[in-house]
Chain A
């Protein structure tokens, strides 16, 4: 990792805190179910991305680590997609 790079950790903390409050508030809104789930997943994904990029310093790491992590995420996405396609989505 490049030692000289120092993200503003406190700014990221405030963003994470704000998004968490937003998430909880959003979960109490009476919106269509698909909109509720889509919004909450997007907010959680954004928070997870911030933690991975800045707290785990993935943004500043070498490409090799990005390939290791990226390939794992692709495998994970395939695993979940197959489960959803097989058991959740309506059969034609």
Chain B
């Protein structure tokens, strides 16, 4: 047994739920994130429907570009879940490939969002131009920040995968970051609909 493995076994305590501690921890964290985004989305709904008038998002925002970005984030969720499936099957080559693809998709998503912001700001649509502007930049900005954090964590996990730190038996880190990544995708699915399509 390696030093790393023996150390891990020494500190690992039995889980009362039968679920690994880090997975439970990530789920509890995601639940707090659910409440965070519920606050943002709830505020949006109240502001939107309590306002006497609201601009049609399609007149200001580029729906097709964002639909492409949604497609990219969905692709990244698929590559993420395929990475987990690969390491469970012991295919470390595919693990590295799919993690790299997920990282790339995340970076592309952020790049397109940065391009969108730049274009909108250049056109005079900024956070203080209207209530719609404030809501748009707050919700999509916080989501973008979450994607950025996910990309940083994904880069760390991908680096560990290339260093051979994950095996078929020890890969909890892949599942944990995967949960976060899918959650970010899930939130975007809702944000895309309510911010861009209503």
Contact = CB atoms under 8 A, between A and B. Distances in A.
B77 to A, nearest CB: 5
Contacts of B70: 20
B98 to A, nearest CB: 11
A30 interface: no
Interface residues of B, number: 46
A31 B28 CA distance: 40
Given A3-B88, A48-B190, A23 B197 contact: yes
B27 A83 contact: no
At the interface, is chain B mostly helix, strand, loop or mixed?
Answer: helix
B24 to A, nearest CB: 8
Contacts of A72: 31, 34-35
Contacts of A56: 178-179, 182-183, 186
Contacts of B179: 56
Interface in B152-198: 178-179, 182-183, 185-186, 189-190, 192-194, 197-198
Contacts of B178: 55-56
A64 interface: yes
A88 to B, nearest CB: 4
A44 B194 contact: yes
Contacts of A73: 34
27 contacts: A3-B88, A9-B82, A10-B78, A12-B78, A13-B75, A17-B71, A20-B71, A21-B67, A23-B193, A36-B198, A40-B193, A40-B194, A40-B198, A44-B193, A48-B186, A56-B186, A62-B19, A65-B24, A75-B35, A76-B35, A76-B38, A79-B35, A79-B38, A80-B38, A84-B45, A84-B49, A88-B49
Interface of B: 17-19, 24, 27-28, 31, 34-35, 38-39, 41-43, 45-46, 49-50, 58, 63-64, 67, 70-71, 74-75, 77-78, 80-82, 85, 88, 178-179, 182-183, 185-186, 189-190, 192-194, 197-198
